[in-house]
A = this chain, B = another copy of it.
């Protein structure tokens, strides 16, 4: 039996899944000192994701060290990882991640990167292999489904890639960790959603001490 296609992201209460555009923002210490936008970007990003950083699973998976919280937030982070048999992501997310992930990238499954760039598969220690797909999201998703088997396919991000799948009717379900923060500006998760085609059915709403975990099934209208 084929798994589901889902996404799972953190979102600010006012609907942003990332601070202002990251175009042109670079992350070396020197660049950071030169560009005050990066300081602000990082501060907002940390607030948005504040719930996940202390979690034991997150720390282990990114090799950040032992220990960490082990409550419901941790279970949810772990469950999201364990259900995922393959991921699809956009090139911008890959570009950022390539600079930020540890050598042992945190996916431990095949990842299909939708891009115009031609590049041979990039195999990382720990089981993550990045495949670069040049013929669009349907092709990337088909390949991801094949390797995922019974497990689910995660549309990892960014929000443009998530929205492309949502509007194309390719998403079965999604989860949002709703963070207690207002951004005012940035990248809106649902910007450009085709509301005339996407209907939501509430599946689960689970408060933790840090965020509210919301899960919806997606149906065509």
Contact = CB atoms under 8 A, between A and B. Distances in A.
Interface string A17-50: 0000000000000000000000000000000000
Contact of A14 (B189, B205, B206, B210): B189
Contacts of A15: 13-15, 188, 190
A198 B193 CA distance: 27
B207 A195 contact: no
Given A15-B15, A190-B13, A214-B212, A180 B195 contact: no
A-side binding surface: helix, strand, loop or mixed?
Answer: loop
A216 interface: yes
Contacts of A194: 184
Contacts of A125: none
A184 B195 contact: yes
Given A13-B200, A200-B13, A206-B207, A190 B195 contact: no
Contact of A212 (B184, B193, B196, B212): B212
A190 B182 contact: yes
B216 A200 contact: no
B216 A205 contact: no
A contact residues, range: 20 to 34
Contacts of A190: 13-15, 182, 184
A204 B176 CA distance: 17
16 contacts: A13-B15, A13-B200, A13-B214, A14-B188, A178-B214, A180-B200, A181-B199, A181-B200, A182-B193, A182-B200, A184-B196, A202-B209, A202-B212, A204-B207, A205-B205, A205-B212
Given A184-B196, A202-B207, 18 more contacts: A13-B15, A14-B15, A14-B189, A14-B190, A178-B178, A178-B214, A180-B200, A180-B216, A181-B199, A181-B200, A182-B195, A182-B198, A182-B200, A184-B192, A184-B194, A184-B195, A202-B209, A205-B207
Interface of A: 13-15, 176, 178, 180-185, 188-190, 192-196, 198-202, 204-207, 209-212, 214, 216
